[in-house]
Structure 1
Amino acid sequence: MPYNKNMYTTGYYKEPGPKLDEESPFESMLERFRFAAEVLELDEGMFQYLASPVKQVTVSIPIVMDSGDIRVFEGYRVIHNNLLGPSKGGIRYAPDVTLEEVNALAAWMTWKCAIVNVPFGGAKGGVRVDPKQLSDGELERLTRRYTANMLEVFGPDRDIPAPDMNTNEQIMAWVMDTYSMNAHKTETAVVTGKPIILGGSHGRKEATGRGVVTVTLAALNKMGILPNKCTVAVQGFGNVGSVSAKLMYEQGAKVVAISDISGGYYNENGIDIPAAIEYAKENDNSLEGYPEAEKISNEELLQMECDVLIPAAKEDQINRENAGNINAKIIAEGANGPVTANADSILEDKGIMVVPDILANAGGVTVSYFEWVQDRQGYFWTEERVNRRLNRMMRNAFDNLFEVRNEYDITLRQAAYVFGINKVAMTLKLRGLYA
């Protein structure tokens, strides 16, 4: 039976999510999933299977604080799908993290891995905590207890976590050590994003930003725009945004605007990105007071006229309210979900090419896969080899999606969901269901 938009009211998703003008990241993902299901004519059973997470785990994490008091935090791990291989996804620490958010991010990881032809399924984890309020010792105890609670979930052949929002290579080292102590052997392949000395990969920190730039250059080529003739605005100056800005700068692009939590900074003649990165490092990782540019708002940055806009900050930055004011020719989504589903059609009507997050920021999971392979082999690659293989996989993925885009006469985002979901659906049909 062909798919219809009301099918998801049965099974795991009993009721439709919020209206599109009030959508959550999960609803944005599901709305795009519905479209791909229509294109692929998925039957109801296939739709329900692919929309539903394989496993959701919620745990209490009690730790002894430095004061001697006991506090209990809540942690999550969602395995959305593991048909293509072990599930893969980061762990985020944030005071507002929710199970719904983790569900959406886990689903995005499924399609992301399928799109870049990485043999992983999708997963995501989170702990509801403000890590800035914890000491290093408290953070370590939290991480180790969370890992201990997930020992039956994690594993190099089952589920492989990685850094995400407010987590880093030190936290991954604690995860690896806790798992290894319980496995009674050193198991470096249980996590990625580790320090290089513990089996991490060269090029991992820059991988997401490098992937963003690879697909941005591919999009510029399709539009006949030379990199050294284009203007770029980058929202967010963390790891992804700063690396993206630096690599575009090295391509000869004029980066006219950057921003972080302190606001936006604009220079019509172009910003010296290496100097801005150095300024932020010397200023507690902040651009506050950056003297070589005019102060603007983040909203002004998003709406300025430019060839390339790279939103690399938070989700839902471009929505129904401001999508009509976006003046970029290309949007390369460095962040997860920076464009809401209700903004997609507005941007399409304006002729803006959106390189979707599940392709644009897939460089991180691609090099995480490389790290996992290197750990399994016990043989490690040079950074030049890592970057060369990353660029090839990202460019191949872009070309695949562009073919689907042209075949169905749809947007690049729609093509990404059609390609990724079709790959997982075909895998399910070939493997069948174990009864």
Structure 2
Amino acid sequence: MLIASVFPWFTDPSGTRLTAWQLPVDLGWQLRSGMFNYGLLCTCCALYIFFVTHQTWQILRAQYSADPTYLLAAPRVSLTRNYIMAGLACLLPMGLFLFQFLCADMLTIAEVTRQQIQLELARTHLGYQSTPEFTPILPFTLHQSHMLGRFAILTNQLGMGWFLPLISLAILFTARIFLPLRIRLSELAFPLLPSERRRRAWLLGIAGLFALLIFGRAPAALASQAQADHLLSVGEYANALNWLDHARTLNPSLEETLDYHIARGNAWYFLHPHQPNAESDVYLGNYYRTQNDIYSAYQALQNSWSKYAHTSWLRDEVSLSLTQMAELSHPLRSIPRAALTNNEPALPWLTELLKLDATNFYAQFTVGRILYDLRDDAGCEMHMRMVLTLSASPEMQSAAYTYIALSRFDAGDINNAREYLYKAQDLDPAYRNNTARQRMSGMR
């Protein structure tokens, strides 16, 4: 458990590995603090396991000793109960992390979804086969409000640290078979007095109510949003808005998610057709995008961007619209003879996307690749160095170093170009970056 606290638990799509100490606990109450994190939680669980281990040792010492003093001083607990409590302590950090990512922490979910979409789009322009994912994700169908989408991201990005408590649990219960048979059969249980049974029942009841209060808020917010989606589908827009208000009250971090505002925009668009707002414009743009009317979607969203506050969820939707406009010409996917025809139309849209969000590493990488095909070596290198700054993913860094090297080769800087190719190969232990290896071997 202590080792789990220092191992990476989650690798965000930009490539940053986060240990348990870098992941704050957020159960939907907006009491987020870096002081209360999963590293601290693992450490506290480990200390509790040491405590119940000490209790068990006292019981075993009393069982084996002929001195009645030990038997009287031994705690009145059972070995089975101690094993169960230690096992729950192993599972607690893992369960809380799953609950937080899948149900409660919409701020992190929005940021991770944004980065995942950029990563998936950038992988389509690497020029070679990307690293396979455990759960394939389609960028334009990834939604923050869908549990399956969040689960897919989680299965692709979980680190080894999250699994170590499972190993702790396996060791805990495997070690139990080495206890003497008579101890395992007797369980060393002490009979409980009626007063102790009543006290335990009260404590369990209070603990259950407390757990319901702490953990019930975020699922209730999701249930309210699901009810609102149902009401929207049957045309009860006023009731849907009320349920969406309830969901925001239960979990204010829903304000950070795009799908929540699209749902509000859907209700507002039909309730007040002559009083448009940012949410109704976003709903309209999203509707056009789902109908493959990309240009109308872009017009609706540009109107919203020029009139209303530049919130993060509005930026996400405008970015998706610009991305689809850029991808309409299928840049970097054609034969060399048609490369200019397909690549050049994408540049204005990608440039607008970078004006909107200069940290979008998909746009930086794609523009760099297009400029390389257009023989703008200096421009290509500038954008690839931005990719190195924005993304810590070895896959993306390997690709960026590759195109910096190719630009240097074309400029005649052979020595530095080889150094960059070496870096690209070092970041590609799976031998997927054929572009770098072929250029280094002289095949291209």
Q: Is the shorter-chain TM-score for this pair beyond 0.5, marking a shared fold?
A: no
Structure with the bigger RCO (C-alpha within 8 Å, sep 6+) is 1
Find the structure with the greater CA-based Rg.
2
Of Structure 1 and Structure 2, the greater strand share is in 1
Query: Normalising by structure 2, what TM-score?
Result: 0.26
